[in-house]
Structure 1
Amino acid sequence: MFQTIKGLFKLSRPLSTLTGVLAVGLGGYVAGTGAWDKIGLAALATLFVSAAANAWNDYRDIDIDRINQPQRPLPSGMVSPRAALVFSIVLAALSLGLAALISPAALAIAVASNILLYVYSVWLKSTVLLGNATVALISAMSPIFGGVAAGNPRPSLWLGAIIFVGILGREVLKTLADYDGDHAHQVRTIATAIGPRAARTVFFFLLGATAIVMLAPYLAGQYEPIYAWIVALGVFPVAVYVIIRVTRERSGPQLERLSQLLKYDFLIWFAAVLLGASV
């Protein structure tokens, strides 16, 4: 039993869900209304949505993960497929219950997010960019969800746009990291469809586009100069490092580590927003 609980905890990927939870809080913060009770509910609902999606995705990908990620709970035998499925459904239901306590608009976002994440694993994951764009869209909805919960979603739209482009780039990098397993199982991704070299070029383009979009709110006069300084000196150097390493690294584990590094780079950007947003 203890091993199963530990496996379910790992299956939810708590560190992976942290970024989405923080994005909800960030969207609520820039809203400037101070409705932290509802923002807290939205953050917890997002935690459950993300954990449910992670469990469902691993449930669907158990055969592929035996090649790409054999240490994960399902291929390693820590958790049974049935337990993972039930875990996912329960968490999704809890997320809807919490969102219903916020507002009808928040419930609509939670319903849409859950549906899109489940549809993604079944039909959209093995597509060229469409599945990646779906994941990026759901991620971009996190700060907007926070803004909706706070009662003022407009300031969070900047955040949503930046997260969409950045996550789309990271999703392309993840297809490079998973190339061997996806290729072996004939999974259609941008890396398997156009080849790793061309996919790297797409990744570089999207990372450059992220840099431009990230500076847009400052150039539009929405954020204070400290925002631009943190982005330029904290976020951009990590992105440049990742670009250099991606041109040299080829193995799945190496590229997966770089993908994780980009996730943590977003945390620096979050700090830039907290300090630079005019709330």
Structure 2
Amino acid sequence: MTTEPLIEPLITPRAVPAPRALLELLKPITWFAPMWAFGCGVVSSGVAVQGRWPLVVAGILLAGPFVCATSQAVNDWFDRHVDAINEPQRPIPSGRIPGRWGLYVAMAWTGLSLALASVLGPWVLGAAVFGLALAWLYSAPPVRLKRDGWWGNAACGLCYEGLPWFTGAAVMAGALPEGRIVLLAALYSLGAHGIMTLNDFKSMEGDRRTGIRSLPVRLGAESAARLACRVMAAPQAVVVLLLAAWGAPWHAALVAALLAGQGLLMRRFLADPHGRAAWYNGTGTLLYVLGMLTAALALRGGLA
């Protein structure tokens, strides 16, 4: 008489993660924002890309599949308990990435990112070091910036928009980008604070239960939504004024039109902040990043 079980276990524990689970851990869908911002930096530099494509491609890879992917792995490792509530299907809480593999991947991707940045010049390496440090400070104790919605969102906005923009311009110029480039990158980083607040609506329950004081948790959904809209809109309004003052009225008008379009979408979002946060993130944010490119094109055109 056999003593073997009649039914095999549905899930066999893995010793190493499957490639698909690793890719999911690195969240390719999040790479678009920093890669786009890097492209805006390249455009705003005014330097022709002919003969510099290897640098451009390396920089795009650094912004997305390396630095941004590192931040995702770091965040998933230190958020595994929160994800077990909000997104139990994620690779770490689901067990598809076993043991401490999530931490090992985060450390390895940090090293690879620094290695790639080191060949792109000192300004790029400096920006990468700063961005990677913020990624770890954002998620890892004891600092864990994400516990506070003000500081955490500021760090994310800077890493997703400002630093990649700066890096793209630095790669092309081989030096510190000029002041107007840095100023526009900083303004769009500030606006991205609001975009990060939109991302927090989906995890309100887990954040409450684990002590993360995201802005939707601290202020409530309606107040946080209004704040996010204002924080996104105000820097763009400043960009409009700057472009007009710098002698780029058509670019200023286009950014203003894109901002007006966001205003219409914001009205619908504010009617149901919790239910429409993801919707606005996919519609209003598109107009936001198109405004970024418009501003970069204005700088490329050679302002007065």
Shorter-chain TM-score bucket reads 0.7 to 0.9
Per-residue deviation at 1:258? Answer: 2.6
Give the TM-score taking structure 1 as reference length. 0.87
Matched, 1:31 2:45: yes
Q: Could you give the per-residue CA deviations for residues 109-156 of structure 1, whole angstroms, max 9, x where no partner exists? A: 111111111011122110140111111222311111111112251142
What does 1:52-131 align with in structure 2 at a 5 Å threshold?
52-80=70-98, 82-122=100-140, 123-131=144-152
Q: Could you give the per-residue CA deviations for residues 85-109 of structure 1, whole angstroms, max 9, x where no partner exists? A: 2222222111111111121222111
Per-residue deviation at 1:31? Answer: 0.9
Cα pair distance change 1:100/1:246, threshold 3 Å: same
Residues of 1 paired with 2:102 and 2:215: CA distance?
Answer: 28
Q: Which of 131, 136, 142 is the equivalent residue of 2:164?
A: 142
Give the TM-score taking structure 2 as reference length. 0.80
Which residue of structure 2 lines up, in the alignment, with residue 21 of structure 1?
35
Matched, 1:168 2:193: yes
Structure 1 gaps, min length 5: none
Contact 1:36 1:150 in 2 (8 A): no
Matched, 1:6 2:28: no
Per-residue deviation at 1:25? Answer: 2.0
Which residue of structure 2 lines up, in the alignment, with residue 133 of structure 1?
154
Cα pair distance change 1:229/1:72, threshold 3 Å: farther
Contact 2:200 2:214 in 1 (8 A): yes
**RMSD, matched Cα:** 2.5
Q: Could you give the per-residue CA deviations for residues 248-267 of structure 1, whole angstroms, max 9, x where no partner exists? A: 2424xx42343344443344
Residues of 1 paired with 2:225 and 2:281: CA distance?
Answer: 13
Contact 2:194 2:228 in 1 (8 A): yes
Of 45-54 and 144-153, deviating more is 144-153
Which residue of structure 1 lines up, in the alignment, with residue 264 of structure 2?
240
Per-residue deviation at 1:36? Answer: 4.1
Residue type of the partner of 1:187? I
Of 204-213 and 16-25, deviating more is 204-213
Residues of 2 paired with 1:240 and 1:46: CA distance?
Answer: 31
Of 261-270 and 199-208, deviating more is 261-270
Q: Which of 37, 44, 61 is the equivalent residue of 1:44?
A: 61
Larger Rg: 2
Per-residue deviation at 1:42? Answer: 2.3
Provide the aligned length of Structure 1 versus Structure 2.
276
Residue type of the partner of 1:63? H
